[in-house]
Structure 1
Amino acid sequence: MDFEAAKDVCRSLPGCTEDTKWDNDTVFSVGGKMFAITNKEAPALGFSFKVDDERFLELTDRPGIIPAPYLARAKWVYVNGEAQLDDAELAALLRRSHELVFAKLTRKLQREIAD
C-alpha cells in the first residue's frame, strides 16, 4: 500500500482542497469538510478517513486498521503500514470517504463543486 499514491487519489477528487492543520497533518477536504487526514512526513506513515457505518467494525477488525483517534465516534478509521490493503482497495475507501462527506454538503455547495 502506497500512501503517497493515496494522497494523489485524494487530490484528484472533485472539489478537493488540501491544507495543513495542527502543525503536522495534511488534511483533504471537500466543501470545507474533512474527508481524509495524513501526516506531512514523506513517506506518510498512515491515513485517517471516514467509512460507512456498516463497514466500521469490519474494517477495524483487520490488522493495521484501528478506530481513528478523536474521530472514531464519527466512524473514521486510521490505516497504518501494517494494514492488509492493496492500493485499489485503499483508493476505493478514500473515494467513498469523499462521497460520504460530499453527500452531507448543501445542495448549493454540491452544485458549485460539480460545475
Structure 2
Amino acid sequence: MTPAALEACALSFPAATKVVQWGGSDVYKVGGKIFAIVGLGGRLMFMVTDLAYEVMTESGMAKPAPYLARAKWVSFDELEGLDPDEVADWLKTAHGLIAAKLTRAQKAALGL
C-alpha cells in the first residue's frame, strides 16, 4: 500500500481527520483521538481488538507498537509491502474501536 492510498482510505471514514505531529508523522484521528499513525520511514501503527492483537503479534505478522502496546496497538515496519485490502479492513476496525470510545455528545456532534 502506498502512503497516498492509506491517506485516502483513512480519511474516507466518517469524521476522520489527519494532522502532522511528532516531527512529521501522519496522525489519523476521529473526534480528536488517534486511530492510526504513519511514522517517518513508513512505519504503520493502529489499534486492533484484543484477539487480533494476540494473533498478529504471536504469529509474527505484526509487532507490538512502541509505547502503545498496552492499549492493543500493533506496528508494521513498512507500509509498502502490505495488502491494500487488508490495511483498509484494519483501519476501518481501528476507526470503529476509537469512535466507540467517544462520548454520546461527541458522536452526535460528529454525526457518528
TM-score (normalised: structure 1) = 0.85
Whether contact under 8 Å (1:3, 1:46) holds in the other structure is no
Note the alpha carbon deviations across 1:15-50, whole angstroms, 9 max, x for none. 1111111122111110010000012x5xx6121000
User: What residue ranges of structure 2 are gaps of 5+ in the alignment?
Assistant: none
Q: What secondary structure, in the 3-state scheme, does the structure 2 residue paired with 1:69 have?
A: coil
Whether contact under 8 Å (1:64, 1:81) holds in the other structure is no
Q: What secondary structure, in the 3-state scheme, does the structure 2 residue paired with 1:19 have?
A: strand
**Distance in 2 between residues matched to 1:60 and 1:78, nearest whole Å:** 9
Whether contact under 8 Å (1:50, 1:75) holds in the other structure is yes
Q: 2:97 aligns with which of 95, 100, 108?
A: 100
Q: CA RMSD in A?
A: 2.1
**2:71 matched residue in structure 1:** 74
Could you tell which deviates more after superposition, 22-31 or 92-101? 22-31
4+ residue runs over 2 A deviation: 1-4, 61-64, 80-85
**Residue 112 (1) aligns with residue 112 (2):** no
Change (3 A) 1:58 1:84: farther
**1:57 matched residue in structure 2:** 54
Aligned residues: 112
One-letter identity of the residue aligned with 2:16: C
**Distance in 2 between residues matched to 1:52 and 1:36, nearest whole Å:** 14
Kindly state the Cα deviation for residue 99 of structure 1 after the two structures are TM-superposed: 0.1
Q: What secondary structure, in the 3-state scheme, does the structure 1 residue paired with 2:76 have?
A: strand
Identity of aligned residues (%): 37
Q: Which has the higher contact order (CA 8 A, sep 6+)?
A: 2
